[in-house]
C-alpha cells in the first residue's frame, strides 16, 4: 500500500469545513491541517475536526503534497498561485477565478510547473449524471433550472457565478466542450448588489441549444436538468440524485390507438449512492498520485467561467450578445 498523501485545506468556512471533515476520514490521505484567515474560525474548526490550524499559509504549503482551496472567489487566484508556485497540486473550488485573466494565470502556472490543477465542479459527480451517462447521445436541447432560497453566503458574486455555473459546466461537458456561438440573457439584482436571478439561452457550434435559469431568491430548492436527443429525453433530478430516460417503445405504431404508457418506455436512472464531495476529493487524490486524469481540469474550469462571464455580460448589455469568449 502506498504512503498516505499529506494534504491540507485552505479556507474552512461553510464549504471548506466539509473538505476538512471528509479528508479526515479518507484513509488514503493524512490531513496535515488547514489555514484560515480568521483566528476565531481556526479555533472552532480545530475543536470540531481535531486537526491543526496553521498560523500562516506558507507554513502549511511547506508541509503538504496537495491542497484543497475553498476561500472566497476574489482570493482564488492569489491562494491558488501561491500553492502552484511551490509545486503543490490544487483542487480549487468553483468558479476557478473571478476574471479570465486570473483563470489564465492559474492554468498557465499549473501547465508550466507540471502541477495538477482540478476545479471543484461537484455536479460532475452527481449520481443522476453518472447513471445517465450510458444513455447520452449528443443531446440537441438542454434545459437547466437551479433555484435556491436567499442566503448571504455567495452574494459576493452574481448568481451566474454562484449557481448557474454548475449547469454551464455540465452543459459544456455534455456538448463535448463545443464553443458557444450565441449567448442571450436577462436577469435582475433584487436582494444583493449582484444578479440574483438570470436566464440564458446559449447556442453552440455543434448545433445544440441550452436554456438555463438560476435564482437565489426562490422559495424552494430545485436542481433539474433535462436533455433532449434523437432517441428520447433524460430528466435528471440533481437534488435527489436520480432521474429517468423516456423513449418510444420498440415496435411502436402511431396508427394504432394507444395510451402514453403503451408508447413510452420509462427507464429509471439510478447510480449507487455515494457522497459527491467524497468522490470529488478522491478523484483529486488519485489524479495527484497519477492514477487518472483530473475530472475537471483547469482548462475546463476556465471554459465554464468564460461562458458564465459572457452570460453576465449579456444581461448587462440587455441585447443580443457577441460570441462567448474562447
Q: State pLDDT tens for residues 65-84.
A: 999 999 999 999 999 999 99
pLDDT at residue 25 tops 90: yes
Instruction: Give the model's pLDDT for residue 2.
Output: 65
Q: Percent of the chain scored above 90 by pLDDT?
A: 85
Mean pLDDT of all residues in 192-218: 96
The Cα 268–Cα 318 span in angstroms is: 40
pLDDT class of 264 with cuts at 50, 70, 90: confident
Apex CA 180: angle with CA 301 and CA 317, to 5°?
100
- pLDDT, the chain, mean: 92
pLDDT given at position 293:
87
pLDDT band at 255; cut points 50, 70, 90: low
Question: Residue 242: which pLDDT band, with cuts at 50, 70 and 90?
Answer: very high
**Alpha-carbon span 285 to 2, nearest angstrom:** 12
For CATH 3.40.50.720, list the domain ranges present in the chain. Answer: 5-123+276-294
What pLDDT score does 213 carry? Answer: 98
Assess whether pLDDT exceeds 90 at residue 131. Answer: yes
Q: Which residues, in sequence order, are CB contacts of 201 under 8 Å at separation 6+? A: 183, 184, 185, 209, 210, 211, 212
Q: Is 24 exposed, middle or buried (0-12, 13-18, 19+ CB in 10 A)?
A: middle
- Pinpoint the residues of the chain covered by CATH 3.30.360.10: 127-273+306-317
Question: Looking at residue 218, what is its pLDDT?
Answer: 94
Q: Using an 8 Å Cβ cutoff, are 45 and 63 in contact?
A: no
251 vs 89 pLDDT, higher one = 89
- pLDDT exceeds 50 at position 191: yes
* Cβ-based neighbour number of residue 129 at 10 Å: 23
> Rounded distance, CA 307 to CA 279, Å?
26
> What SS3 state is found at 249?
coil
Residue with cell 462571464: 309
Q: What is the pLDDT of residue 254?
A: 62
Residue 324 banded pLDDT, cuts 50, 70, 90: very low
Rounded CA separation 181/43 (Å): 49
pLDDT tens for each residue of 154-188: 778 899 999 999 999 999 999 999 999 999 999 99
Specify the CATH superfamily of domain 127-273+306-317.
Answer: Dihydrodipicolinate Reductase; domain 2 (3.30.360.10)
CA–CA separation, 68 vs 122, rounded Å?
A: 13
At residue 322, the pLDDT reads 43
pLDDT tier at 260 (50, 70, 90 boundaries)? Answer: low
For 303, residues 6+ apart whose C-beta sits below 8 A from its C-beta are 172, 177
- Residue from 51, 11, 14, 30 nearest 285 by CA: 30
d(CA 322, CA 326) in angstroms, rounded, equals 12
pLDDT in tens, 275-313: 999 999 999 999 999 988 889 999 999 999 999 999 999
Q: How far is CA 247 from CA 163, 244, 318, 322, in A?
A: 30, 10, 38, 36
**What's the pLDDT score for residue 143?**
98
Residue 248 CB neighbours (<10 A): 12
| Beta pairing, strands 53-54 & 66-69 | unpaired
Residue 320 clears pLDDT 80, i.e. is over it = no
Contact assessment for residue 267 and residue 245, using Cβ atoms and an 8 Å cutoff: yes
Which pTM value belongs to this model? 0.91
pLDDT at 321 over 60: no
In the sheet that holds 141-147, the strands lie side by side as: 180-188, 197-204, 209-215, 141-147, 222-229, 232-237, 242-248, 264-270
- Of the pLDDT bands very low, low, confident and very high (cuts 50, 70, 90), residue 205 is very high
pLDDT at 258: 64
Mean pLDDT, range 217-223, rounded to an integer: 95
Burial class (CB in 10 A: 0-12, 13-18, 19+), 254: exposed
Closest CA to 34 of 75, 18, 26: 18
| Residue 191 region by backbone torsions, left for phi larger than 0, else alpha for psi between -120 and 50, else beta | alpha
264-270/180-188 β-pairing? unpaired
Mean pLDDT for the stretch of residues 24-46: 96
Q: How confident is residue 43, by pLDDT bands cut at 50, 70 and 90?
A: very high
Tell me which CATH homologous superfamily contains domain 5-123+276-294. Answer: NAD(P)-binding Rossmann-like Domain (3.40.50.720)
Amino acid at each position: 500500500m502506498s504512503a498516505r498523501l499529506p494534504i491540507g485545506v485552505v479556507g474552512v468556512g461553510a464549504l471548506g469545513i466539509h473538505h476538512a471533515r471528509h479528508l479526515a476520514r479518507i484513509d488514503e490521505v493524512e490531513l496535515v491541517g488547514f489555514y484560515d484567515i480568521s483566528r476565531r474560525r481556526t479555533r472552532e474548526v480545530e475543536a470540531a475536526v481535531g486537526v491543526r490550524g496553521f498560523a500562516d499559509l506558507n507554513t502549511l504549503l511547506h508541509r503538504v503534497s496537495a491542497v484543497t482551496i475553498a476561500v472566497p472567489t476574489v482570493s482564488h487566484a492569489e491562494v491558488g498561485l501561491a500553492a502552484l508556485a511551490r509545486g503543490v497540486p490544487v483542487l480549487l473550488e468553483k468558479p476557478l477565478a473571478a476574471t479570465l485573466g486570473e483563470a489564465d494565470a492559474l492554468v498557465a502556472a499549473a501547465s508550466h510547473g507540471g502541477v495538477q490543477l482540478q476545479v471543484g465542479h461537484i455536479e460532475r459527480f452527481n449520481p443522476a449524471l453518472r447513471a445517465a451517462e450510458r444513455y447520452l447521445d449528443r443531446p440537441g436541447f438542454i434545459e437547466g433550472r437551479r433555484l435556491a432560497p436567499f442566503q448571504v453566503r455567495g452574494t459576493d458574486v452574481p448568481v451566474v457565478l454562484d449557481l448557474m455555473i454548475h449547469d454551464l459546466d455540465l452543459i459544456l461537458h455534455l456538448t463535448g466542450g463545443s464553443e458557444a456561438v450565441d449567448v442571450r440573457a436577462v436577469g435582475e439584482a433584487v436582494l444583493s448588489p449582484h444578479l440574483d436571478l438570470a436566464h440564458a439561452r446559449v447556442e453552440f457550434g455543434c448545433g445544440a441549444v441550452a436554456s438555463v435559469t438560476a435564482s437565489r431568491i426562490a422559495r424552494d430548492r430545485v436542481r433539474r436538468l433535462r436533455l433532449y436527443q434523437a432517441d428520447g429525453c433524460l430528466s435528471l433530478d440533481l437534488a435527489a440524485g436520480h432521474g429517468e430516460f423516456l423513449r418510444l417503445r420498440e415496435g411502436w405504431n402511431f396508427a394504432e390507438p394507444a395510451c402514453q404508457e403503451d408508447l413510452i418506455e420509462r427507464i429509471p436512472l439510478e447510480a449507487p449512492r455515494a457522497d459527491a464531495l467524497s468522490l470529488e476529493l478522491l478523484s483529486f487524490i488519485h489524479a495527484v498520485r497519477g492514477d487518472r486524469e483530473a475530472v475537471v481540469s483547469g482548462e475546463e474550469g476556465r471554459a465554464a467561467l468564460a461562458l458564465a462571464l459572457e452570460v453576465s455580460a449579456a444581461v448587462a448589455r440587455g441585447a443580443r450578445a457577441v460570441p462567448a469568449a474562447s
